[in-house]
Amino acid sequence: MSALKARIQQEMVAALKAKEADRLSAIRLLMAAIKQREVDERIELDDHAVQAVIEKLVKQRKDAATLYDSGGRAELAAKERFEICVLEAYLPAKISAAEIDAAIAAALLECDATAPSHMGKVMTILKARLAGRADMAEVSARVRSRLTA
């Protein structure tokens, strides 16, 4: 069992004992998603794969919160944002904007990218370096603006 998955299970037990219903619900949702992926692929997920599951769930929650806000359902949006906070606690710390810019500059130099057609090469390099530590949609937008400028 991966260390991250073991930590999630321990925190699920702690939330159960502390009677934190909302937190327990979010952690159970995460454990169900992890188990579902393990059953579907017939593998034991490692820490990297568990992080990918968490990132996917966070993205789903962000999208749902945005939709709830636009639909005037503030209470449901607040619930989604709480779940985002619980889930993000299991992800590595996010890097700063300056570190993202430095990584982009290094990747642009590495593959000698000068035109928007080089976007794929740059993003391949950056995804390997920044996955899980930065919002890749934001990184993509920054790379696009640098290549079109």
* 78: CATH: 1.10.1510.10
Averaged pLDDT for residues 61-71: 97
Which of 92, 89, 94 is closest to 12 using CA atoms?
89
How far apart (Å, rounded) are the C-alpha atoms in residues 112 and 58? 33
pLDDT tier at 137 (50, 70, 90 boundaries)?
confident
Q: Structure tokens of 131?
A: 């996955």
Q: Which domain holds residue 139?
A: 97-148
Torsion sign, CA atoms 37, 42, 46, 48? negative
Give the predicted TM-score (pTM) of the model: 0.80
Is the pLDDT reported for residue 135 higher than 90? no
Q: Give me the percent of the chain exceeding a pLDDT of 90.
A: 83
Strand-pair partners of 134: 131
Q: In terms of domains, do 119 and 82 share one? A: no
Out of 68, 88, 108, a domain closes at 88
The 10s digit of each residue's pLDDT in 3-22 is 999 999 999 999 999 999 99
The 10s digit of each residue's pLDDT in 26-46 is 999 999 999 999 999 999 999
